[in-house]
Chain A
């Protein structure tokens, strides 16, 4: 009999029990293990220090004090030390690490909750299936050194993450770490763990819940407040963890209720709902949360975890909308009704005796939520519930505004609410309609108004026309990029003939509305970049259309090929984006990945032109996703709210001694052009970020054709959006073959006249000037052990 995992007793041997916790099986390493399987905090420190030496942390404190312990408050202004001895730099680095750990904990706790639920439902031996892929869990293999085959194989992975989180969190205590650089290394470690936790979460739900498996032509679904049929009872699910919601969808399906009920999702749960059942609809990203609740349309709200507003219960209760909480992370003070009969709970909620219920029995949630929505809808309709003012009230409210500007000062975006209010009082709604997309729906304005005007409701009332038109399409989250796609595209990506991969991810805290994110995606797609997206950004990209009424998802295919647009799925599916770079290293370049983070990150940094854009990043999770990308050698750009994360990783192109790499062929050191120039940076506007994205796709390994293509886009985008040839274009030229074909002669003249380069005009060749000459066999690396000379 084969021994399986578990527990057994030997008869007649009293009081002895043998527990088998882990057996060598398919979940263990099958190929030679790299140097850092399941790395401890210090194991990848050398790699981190290499990154931090070139990309120096730049801190921008939000608060100049440390308020962390009772020694303080301590004034750290000007990099002073506090009472415990920590200085401003180290404190800011600690803050960045703590924010990162919050994000890591959110994703990995999500994974733990989901794994426990799915093991209970499907068993630990349920096989992993992510689609056409031999490399099923790239991050798990690279970090842990194991190749999981079943969902149960992820148990030690989460054990490892949880242990590391505890170790990292401990270092934040007063009287522990004092080095800003080591705090940064720890922040990078947290970022890496975050991607691991996300991978676990998404692979197990893809495997068990029938979600698309590397499906490039996943179906389209409706998105937008205007796409929700409010004539039906509306059941709204908010959050990131679809565990409980799947029971609701099963119940609705089994009882043929999809025609009778509108099942809508908000935030990442919505992505996963549509991946589970395409009859669900997506209201939109986080920025629509308060707006949609205040519309009064939902009849029941179900919340799970992450990015759910803290005031959902308060807001919903005002409108007689019962709230069902289903997860330990959000309980809102509600009574635990898990052991009560569904009918009894429904009775209490319908009568209004209770504003909501906490329910951990998901079979009961599955039945209760839709049945409750069917009961609540006619009652609420009869009561005529809506938060929005009627026409007469709207006129009174806008006329009562005294233009004091308190709302403008309170608005995180500084929107000109006062001007819109004045115009609306005169009957002109256009300013409010324009403002609607730029408003992030936070509701801070309501609290600032000295006259008590419910400003967010006024914005929504004034924007009813544009809200009705908020209907778009999103391609359902496809999951991983499959191995065949990597084999097809890998060579283009590494050689640079595909100019780059732009991963547009993150939250909807945009500086100037969601249309910018659509236009950024469109510009890069037209230029044959691969655009990968997920989460709230994936939703907002689908909210806008061209002149023919088509969204980008309808215009561009979803394969991992140049000029394609891929939606990987919800927030946790961000892991597939970073994992794609690992897949390129493994499948295309045949790099050994097991327990080999440093080598893979080195490969990504030097060879793969991938850049992340978190234009509206607001959450701790967004920061830690970015930090995890950074440790893997992927640069990330943030919008102008980004410096509120307090730290960036910036390169200095003029500091030549920071731009050295080794040639793996012989260990010789080469001074390279500053590529990629930064690891984490912010930009102010769409026009500024577009050329920056193109520039950050440069890599030292680019061949001539690849560099020429990348340089062409950089120059064109700079000329189009900044009105000039970039000041630093010549830095990236290694020979005449790197120059854009159409401008070659013109640029050669500039190199000679403005930079003093020597040109052979007969042959039109560069003789002297570049930092280095291109060498197609060059093998850039920052890891000495990868050099052949060193290995001898």
Chain B
């Protein structure tokens, strides 16, 4: 079975080769563990970048939204997400991280901030820098389920091939 053969912890080097932030870098994890971590979150937020609206990936976003995970649509992903009937809130990613680091922010639903952020479908270097804000100035968990290894997350996959990426996302959702 693919679930046994696919090791998502391989090739865990920054996708931008020189993007080595410092002593604290993401732990490379397996897909099922990512799914379990997300399912345990009290207040998760799925943050979907422009590439999160790509074919294949968007179906995973839809399934995660259907599991009750609120979706923040950054970049211009909101257009396709809405077309797919996914309930998402548009927000600029840079602004969102500033809200997330504010203890006074009530979240999109007014019920309070989020304890876990899940990044999917972002321009690599852009998301990396904004994960750095969360990493250094908040206690929020950062789980990257993107295709490439993100050192500024707490948990991330290694660099995955496109087909393996979609299989990996299926495995994440299976654990929710």
B-binding residues in A (CB < 8 A): 56, 58-65, 75-79, 88-89, 405, 409-410, 412, 414, 448, 511, 640-644, 648, 650, 652, 654-655, 678, 681-685, 687-688, 692, 721-724, 726-727
Contact present for A721 and B76 (CB under 8 Å): yes
Within 8 Å CB of A89, what residues of B?
137
A598 to chain B, nearest CB (A): 26
Per-residue contact bits, chain B 66-105, to A (CB 8 Å; 1 contact, 0 not):
0000000011101110110000011011110111011011
Partner of B75, one of A75, A654, A688: A688
Contact present for A687 and B76 (CB under 8 Å): yes
Task: Give bound CA distance, A223 to B100, whole Å.
Answer: 45
Task: Give the residue name and chain of the B residue nearest to A643 (CB).
Answer: B129
Contact present for B93 and A409 (CB under 8 Å): no
Contact present for A77 and B92 (CB under 8 Å): no
Contact present for A688 and B136 (CB under 8 Å): no
Task: Give the residue name and chain of the B residue nearest to A682 (CB).
Answer: B94
The segment from B2-10, B16-24, B166-174 found at the interface with A is B16-24
Contact present for B21 and A62 (CB under 8 Å): yes
Task: Give the residue name and chain of the A residue nearest to B108 (CB).
Answer: A727
Contact present for A62 and B17 (CB under 8 Å): no
Total count of chain B residues near the partner, CB < 8 A? 46
Contact present for A688 and B92 (CB under 8 Å): yes
Within 8 Å CB of A60, what residues of B?
97, 129-130, 132-133
Within 8 Å CB of B90, what residues of A?
722, 724, 726-727
Task: Give bound CA distance, A655 to B95, whole Å.
Answer: 13
Given contacts A77-B135, A684-B76, A723-B83, contact A652 B99 (CB under 8 A): yes
Within 8 Å CB of B93, what residues of A?
684
Contact present for A640 and B126 (CB under 8 Å): yes
B13 at the interface (CB under 8 A from A): yes
Task: Give bound CA distance, A78 to B152, whole Å.
Answer: 11
Within 8 Å CB of B106, what residues of A?
654
Within 8 Å CB of A78, what residues of B?
24, 135-137
Task: Give bound CA distance, A410 to B80, whole Å.
Answer: 30
Within 8 Å CB of B133, what residues of A?
58-60, 643
A694 to chain B, nearest CB (A): 14
Within 8 Å CB of B78, what residues of A?
722-724
Within 8 Å CB of B122, what residues of A?
684
Partner of A727, one of B17, B89, B125, B126: B89
A sample of 30 inter-chain contacts (CB < 8 A) reads A58-B94, A58-B98, A59-B136, A59-B137, A60-B132, A61-B136, A64-B23, A75-B24, A77-B24, A78-B24, A88-B136, A405-B159, A409-B13, A409-B159, A414-B15, A414-B124, A414-B125, A448-B17, A641-B125, A641-B126, A643-B94, A644-B125, A652-B99, A655-B104, A678-B95, A684-B76, A684-B93, A687-B76, A688-B75, A723-B78
B49 at the interface (CB under 8 A from A): yes
Within 8 Å CB of A652, what residues of B?
98-99, 102, 105
* Residue of B15, B21, B92 with highest tally of chain A CB at under 10 A: B92
Given contacts A684-B76, A724-B79, A724-B90, contact A77 B123 (CB under 8 A): no
Within 8 Å CB of A412, what residues of B?
16, 125
Within 8 Å CB of B102, what residues of A?
652, 655
Within 8 Å CB of B137, what residues of A?
59, 78-79, 88-89
Given contacts A644-B129, A684-B49, A727-B90, contact A65 B135 (CB under 8 A): no
Contact present for B136 and A77 (CB under 8 Å): yes
Q: Give the A-B contact count at a CB cut-off of 8 A.
A: 144
B50 at the interface (CB under 8 A from A): yes
Contact present for B16 and A650 (CB under 8 Å): no
Task: Give bound CA distance, A685 to B76, whole Å.
Answer: 7
Within 8 Å CB of B13, what residues of A?
409
Within 8 Å CB of A59, what residues of B?
133, 136-137
A689 to chain B, nearest CB (A): 9
Within 8 Å CB of B89, what residues of A?
727
Task: Give bound CA distance, A56 to B104, whole Å.
Answer: 14
Within 8 Å CB of A62, what residues of B?
21, 129, 132
Within 8 Å CB of B95, what residues of A?
650, 678, 681
Partner of A640, one of B14, B83, B101, B123: B123
A34 to chain B, nearest CB (A): 34
List of 10 A-B pairs having minimum Cβ-Cβ separation, nearest first: A64-B22, A723-B79, A643-B129, A687-B76, A684-B75, A640-B126, A60-B129, A650-B98, A60-B133, A58-B98
Within 8 Å CB of A655, what residues of B?
102, 104
Within 8 Å CB of A414, what residues of B?
15-16, 124-125
Per-residue contact bits, chain B 21-38, to A (CB 8 Å; 1 contact, 0 not):
111100000000000000
Task: Give bound CA distance, A409 to B89, whole Å.
Answer: 32
B140 to chain A, nearest CB (A): 12
Other 12 A-B pairs with CB < 8 A, given A61-B136, A78-B137:
A58-B133, A61-B132, A75-B24, A78-B24, A511-B126, A641-B125, A681-B94, A681-B95, A682-B126, A683-B94, A687-B50, A723-B79
A251 to chain B, nearest CB (A): 44
Within 8 Å CB of B74, what residues of A?
684, 688
Given contacts A650-B95, A678-B95, A688-B76, contact A58 B101 (CB under 8 A): yes
Within 8 Å CB of A692, what residues of B?
92
Contact present for B98 and A684 (CB under 8 Å): no
Within 8 Å CB of A727, what residues of B?
89-90
Contact present for A643 and B130 (CB under 8 Å): yes
Within 8 Å CB of B75, what residues of A?
683-685, 687-688
Task: Give the residue name and chain of the B residue nearest to A677 (CB).
Answer: B95
Interface residues of B in 110-159 (CB under 8 A from A): 122-126, 129-130, 132-133, 135-137, 159
A679 to chain B, nearest CB (A): 12
Within 8 Å CB of B123, what residues of A?
511, 640, 684-685
Given contacts A61-B136, A62-B132, contact A75 B94 (CB under 8 A): no
* Residue of B24, B78, B106, B129 with highest tally of chain A CB at under 10 A: B129
Within 8 Å CB of A88, what residues of B?
136-137
Given contacts A63-B21, A648-B94, A723-B82, contact A79 B76 (CB under 8 A): no
Task: Give the residue name and chain of the B residue nearest to A646 (CB).
Answer: B129
Within 8 Å CB of B98, what residues of A?
56, 58, 648, 650, 652
Task: Give bound CA distance, A405 to B160, whole Å.
Answer: 11
Within 8 Å CB of B136, what residues of A?
59, 61, 64, 76-79, 88
Task: Give bound CA distance, A62 to B95, whole Å.
Answer: 18
Task: Give bound CA distance, A63 to B23, whole Å.
Answer: 10
Given contacts A78-B135, A414-B15, contact A64 B126 (CB under 8 A): no
B14 to chain A, nearest CB (A): 8
B79 to chain A, nearest CB (A): 3
Within 8 Å CB of B105, what residues of A?
652, 654
Task: Give bound CA distance, A22 to B33, whole Å.
Answer: 74
Task: Give bound CA distance, A410 to B16, whole Å.
Answer: 6
Within 8 Å CB of A76, what residues of B?
136
Task: Give bound CA distance, A511 to B125, whole Å.
Answer: 10
Task: Give the residue name and chain of the A residue nearest to B133 (CB).
Answer: A60
B28 to chain A, nearest CB (A): 16
Partner of A64, one of B17, B24, B99: B24
Contact present for A64 and B125 (CB under 8 Å): no
A738 to chain B, nearest CB (A): 22
Task: Give the residue name and chain of the A residue nearest to B102 (CB).
Answer: A652
Within 8 Å CB of A640, what residues of B?
123, 125-126
Task: Give bound CA distance, A726 to B22, whole Å.
Answer: 39
